[in-house]
Chain A
């Protein structure tokens, strides 16, 4: 846990403090993103935490201990540090770069070698291939991976990352972000992550601290920043498309209408049609006894049909998993011109439906946390 208590930093000769009385608590195992326009003090605030620059007033404590009472060198050896420019030592091999802190801590050689290989594997670099390479023989993405591995070498409980993926092309950045989140899921480090990219902040941060001119403007969950920006500055910083950005954060599960209206394959076509007309449904999902999706029927096919609804069911190939994010789901709906998307779990059972009305009401301004209104559709569950 990292606690910042009225942290202030004024550089000598500066009239304005670079960091102005920031108080913030970063709980154990969370990624807290510091974000803001350049010059907002986010990097300064991060560097105060490992005493790369001295604090002017206020206090910072790490796991309950005031950092001013700790030896700065010892402190830094127990806080991982990764920066945008990577800062790999060009004259050292990948192995030696990663081994830097363990060597400083006096680990045994065999332990270091094992650790290096373990970390390389963790960041998706094959140890046999990359161990003995020099930084100039690495691509940008590989170098960043090594930079992250170096920061994690001595297994520090806390990590500071200053735009660690900033210098990488967008495609590889996404890959690295995903990989890092996967690693973080396992390791649960307490992380301060500095970025100026709101999309990265939303993706990486469990908590976001937005700074401006040294002051903390708003702190909260990514969703809170997007949905309830504290002021005009936050609103403009998160962007006019903040509503769309929320689509990235929300899962299909959050937006879908559960217990969707449907019929079973053995239901009589006539009765199903009757109900569909009554409820003004153009088409209807057809399932088996176990709620497994079989397809759909429409009024046209049912008209005059004597038998079971399952006999005239059409295949429904485009479905979505409840774990996908809404942006992907919406994109699917738009590109295939679908008014509705059926949500199917891994077991093939229908879990809900997503339609444009529920989507809009969820992400739009009328959204309220308890679920909002579900649009005009009132029918639910098995139709018969």
Chain B
């Protein structure tokens, strides 16, 4: 059976796995963005902490994903969530932190000091400069970090099937154990397609959210 046939015959199942995949990746990204962006902004006010945090986030990226998922099991077993969606989400949040943190930190820091001075000089409070000037100016770069995190999370999310979180990784792992090529391919193609689609959507979102004044053309 070809990959195409497999996909056609197992369409409903594929869709439900894709949905599972989407759910835990989305939850993880929502948490990662909700924590990573504010933390990245905060770090620009605390340079010493910034170095440490970015270093730790960098180390986190070097831990092989299978190992990270495995490490979650004993830790989270204590709370009764050793396997399934919870450890998968936590691992993805940790992975997504670095690109989001680093891009946010770098973007906010790269705002021309003259512009910040102009903002303060005409009577903006520090918070107004941050929210009305620095963050809107940084959105483009922050978005690029988020898009990296999105694509990466969808890919790494496939490994979450290994600890029982389901998702499209299930086809890949099952396919490997059954030496069923069409199944492996179907899972892989679906993961790629999802990543491309998500990246495209975030690209569109970026275009609407980031000011036209910052576009280079």
Residues on A close to B: CB < 8 A?
Answer: 50, 52, 73-78, 80-81, 83-93, 100-101, 104, 134-136, 150-151, 160
A83→B213 contact, CB < 8 A: no
Q: Which B residues touch A76, using CB under 8 A?
A: 120-123
Q: Which A residues touch B112, using CB under 8 A?
A: 85, 87
B128→A89 contact, CB < 8 A: no
Partner of B124, one of A78, A92, A100: A100
Q: Which A residues touch B214, using CB under 8 A?
A: 90-91
A91→B137 contact, CB < 8 A: yes
Partner of B136, one of A52, A73, A78, A91: A91
A135→B117 contact, CB < 8 A: no
Task: Flag whether B203 is at the interface (Cβ < 8 A).
Answer: no
Task: Flag whether B115 is at the interface (Cβ < 8 A).
Answer: yes
Complex CA distance for A52 and B210, rounded to whole angstroms:
30
B120→A52 contact, CB < 8 A: yes
Q: Which A residues touch B124, using CB under 8 A?
A: 73, 100, 104
A134→B212 contact, CB < 8 A: yes
CB-CB under 8 A for A81 and B118, given A101-B123, A104-B124 = yes
Complex CA distance for A257 and B118, rounded to whole angstroms:
50
B117→A83 contact, CB < 8 A: yes
Encoded as 1 (CB less than 8 Å from any A CB) or 0, chain B from 175 to 217 comes to 0000000000000000000000000000000000011111000
Partner of A92, one of B122, B128, B211: B211
Partner of B121, one of A50, A74, A90: A50
Chain A residue nearest in CB terms to B114: A85
Chain A residue nearest in CB terms to B214: A91
Chain A residue nearest in CB terms to B126: A73
Q: Which A residues touch B211, using CB under 8 A?
A: 90-92, 134
Nearest CB of chain B from residue A334's CB, rounded to whole Å: 43
Encoded as 1 (CB less than 8 Å from any A CB) or 0, chain B from 94 to 136 comes to 0000000000000000001011011111111100100001001
Task: Identify 23 residue pairs between A and B in the complex whose beta-carbon atoms are under 8 Å apart, listed by A's number.
Answer: A52-B117, A73-B125, A76-B121, A77-B122, A77-B123, A78-B123, A81-B121, A83-B117, A83-B118, A85-B115, A86-B118, A87-B112, A87-B119, A87-B121, A89-B115, A90-B213, A90-B214, A91-B211, A91-B213, A91-B214, A92-B213, A134-B213, A135-B213
Q: Which A residues touch B122, using CB under 8 A?
A: 76-77, 80-81, 100-101, 150-151
B117→A87 contact, CB < 8 A: yes
**Interface SS majority for chain B:** helix
Q: Which A residues touch B136, using CB under 8 A?
A: 91
Q: Which A residues touch B115, using CB under 8 A?
A: 85, 87-90
Complex CA distance for A93 and B214, rounded to whole angstroms:
11
Q: Which B residues touch A74, using CB under 8 A?
A: 123
Q: Which B residues touch A81, using CB under 8 A?
A: 118, 121-122
B117→A89 contact, CB < 8 A: no
CB-CB under 8 A for A136 and B213, given A87-B114, A89-B115, A91-B136 = yes
Complex CA distance for A35 and B28, rounded to whole angstroms:
57
Q: Which A residues touch B119, using CB under 8 A?
A: 87, 89
Complex CA distance for A91 and B133, rounded to whole angstroms:
8
Q: Which B residues touch A134, using CB under 8 A?
A: 211-213
Complex CA distance for A87 and B125, rounded to whole angstroms:
16
Complex CA distance for A180 and B70, rounded to whole angstroms:
69
Complex CA distance for A185 and B115, rounded to whole angstroms:
29
Complex CA distance for A141 and B137, rounded to whole angstroms:
23
Q: Which B residues touch A52, using CB under 8 A?
A: 117, 120-121
Which of A74, A78, A88, A90 is most buried by chain B, counting CB atoms within 10 A of its CB? A90
**Given A89-B133, A101-B123, A134-B212: 11 more A-B contacts, CB < 8 Å:** A52-B117, A81-B118, A84-B114, A87-B112, A87-B114, A87-B117, A90-B115, A91-B210, A91-B213, A100-B122, A160-B121
Q: Which A residues touch B121, using CB under 8 A?
A: 50, 52, 76, 81, 83, 87, 160
Partner of A93, one of B125, B137, B210, B213: B213
Q: Which B residues touch A151, using CB under 8 A?
A: 122
Q: Which A residues touch B120, using CB under 8 A?
A: 52, 76
- Going nearest first, the 3 A-B pairs with the smallest beta carbon separation are A87-B118, A134-B213, A77-B123
Chain B residue nearest in CB terms to A77: B123
Complex CA distance for A148 and B92, rounded to whole angstroms:
49
CB-CB under 8 A for A83 and B123, given A89-B137, A92-B211, A93-B213 = no
Which of A75, A78, A83 is most buried by chain B, counting CB atoms within 10 A of its CB? A83
Q: Which B residues touch A100, using CB under 8 A?
A: 122, 124
Nearest CB of chain A from residue B110's CB, rounded to whole Å: 12
Nearest CB of chain B from residue A162's CB, rounded to whole Å: 9
Chain A residue nearest in CB terms to B210: A91
Complex CA distance for A89 and B211, rounded to whole angstroms:
11
Complex CA distance for A88 and B119, rounded to whole angstroms:
9
